[in-house]
């Protein structure tokens, strides 16, 4: 019978070899004793439409999966239905088949908020947030901040026009600013989020003075390699509470697993340590 076939899910992207999603989902599958699988599936930049066609005709026997770089925007046009979260963010990362229709959502906003809920409960009592960067990751973070009721969300970006493009999408609580305004934007802010690629691959990071922020402010970075990014290291040296980005990766995987395999998994210290050990192995 068809429903006895073990469910198969995937992470599809190019490149896909370094994805840590198989480690995360494999840990949950084993822990819950589910006879399913979660596989890396390389889909070249021009191969997404053919892959989607295979998904829908059932020849791949997948229940759904994660869509990653470079396909996160293109999957929109190809999915039969993108939910409101994915439409707000403009990027999808999770798909599933529902009676032959391919549905898409974005779980990054959920992952961002759930990480802070777990590690810093009460973080969303803040009113003012500063978000550095204006790409797809920034839109997911801003969507979460709007949903959690932040009254003032200030985007600072090197290219002001991109920040404006994002702020226009989210309405009057979100404003756009040039990078040079960062010192003023940080005054009395409750939360700082780096969504830019500043500091990735060892690039130089400007000095940021976090001292004008509110007393209980949190500084977080969605980059998680290394765990203590240059921006978090600066904030910690200034005595600020910091939250690393690894939890966002772990939590964003939860809704997908539940959709594909029918069980809601937990983000535990054991899982976190498993991924950290993998990061250390590949450092
Ligand atoms: P993603 O979709 O993953 O968020 P992206 O769209 O490439 O990635 O966005 C990267 C962000 O990092 C952008 O906000 C980018 O600023 P620009 O919009 O001006 O390009 C920001 N960024 C990258 N390198 C930067 C640098 N050296 N200084 C400041 N901002 C930088």
Percent of the chain residues past pLDDT 70, beyond the cut? 98
Complete edge-to-edge strand list for the sheet that includes strand 37-42 = 37-42, 8-13, 64-67, 94-98, 101-105, 81-82
- Name the active-site residue from 72, 143, 148, 154: 72
Atom in ligand 1 nearest the alpha carbon of residue 204? 27
138 lines ligand 1 (CB under 6 A): yes
- Greater confidence (2 vs 168) lies with 168
Query: pLDDT tier at 1 (50, 70, 90 boundaries)?
Result: very low
CA 281 to centroid of ligand 1, rounded, Å: 28
| Sequence-separated contacts (24+) of 54-59 with Cβ below 8 Å | 55/95, 55/97, 55/102, 56/97, 56/100, 56/101, 56/102
- What pLDDT is recorded for position 115? 98
Distance 261 CA to ligand 1 centre (A): 35
Ligand 1 pocket test: pick from 70, 134, 224 the residue with the most ligand atoms within 8 Å of its Cβ: 134
In this prediction the pTM is: 0.96
Burial per residue of 32-70, b for 16 or more beta-carbon CB atoms within 10 angstroms, e otherwise:
eebebebbbbebeeeebeebbeebeeeeeebbbbbbbee
Q: Is 72 a catalytic residue?
A: yes
Which tens digits make up the pLDDT trace of 177-230? 999 999 999 999 999 999 999 877 667 889 999 999 999 999 999 999 899 999
At residue 60, the pLDDT reads: 81
- The Å distance, Cα 166 to ligand 1 centre, comes to 13
Cα of first residue to Cα of last residue in the chain, in angstroms, is 45
Taken in order of first residue, the domains within the chain and their CATH numbers are 8-106+250-281 (3.40.50.10860), 109-244 (3.40.50.720)
Residue 90 Cβ < 6 Å to ligand 1 = no
């Amino acid at each position: 019978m068809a429903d006895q076939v073990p469910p198969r899910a995937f992470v599809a992207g190019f490149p896909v070899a370094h994805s840590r999603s198989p480690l995360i989902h494999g840990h949950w599958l084993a822990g819950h004793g589910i006879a399913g699988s979660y596989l890396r599936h390389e889909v070249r930049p021009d191969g997404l439409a053919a892959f989607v066609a295979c998904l829908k005709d059932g020849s791949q026997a997948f229940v759904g999966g994660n869509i990653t770089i470079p396909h996160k925007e293109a999957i929109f046009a190809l999915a039969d239905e993108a939910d409101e979260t994915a439409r707000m963010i403009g990027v999808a990362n999770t798909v599933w088949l529902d009676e032959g229709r391919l549905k898409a959502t974005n779980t990054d906003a959920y992952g961002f908020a759930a990480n802070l809920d777990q590690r810093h409960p009460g973080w969303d009592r803040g009113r003012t947030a500063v978000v550095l960067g204006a790409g797809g990751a920034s839109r997911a973070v801003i969507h979460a901040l709007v949903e959690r009721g932040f009254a003032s969300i200030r985007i600072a970006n090197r290219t002001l026009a991109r920040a404006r493009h994002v702020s226009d999408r989210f309405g009057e609580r979100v404003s756009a600013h040039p990078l040079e305004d960062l010192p003023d934007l940080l005054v009395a802010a409750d939360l700082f989020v780096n969504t830019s690629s500043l500091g990735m691959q060892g690039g130089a990071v400007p000095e940021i003075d976090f001292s004008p922020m509110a007393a209980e402010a949190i500084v977080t970075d969605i980059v998680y390699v290394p765990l203590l990014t240059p921006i978090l290291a600066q904030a910690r040296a200034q005595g600020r509470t910091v939250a690393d980005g690894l939890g966002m990766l772990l939590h964003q995987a939860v809704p997908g697993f539940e959709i594909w395999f029918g069980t809601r998994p937990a983000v535990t210290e054991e899982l976190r340590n498993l991924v950290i050990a993998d990061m250390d192995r590949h450092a």
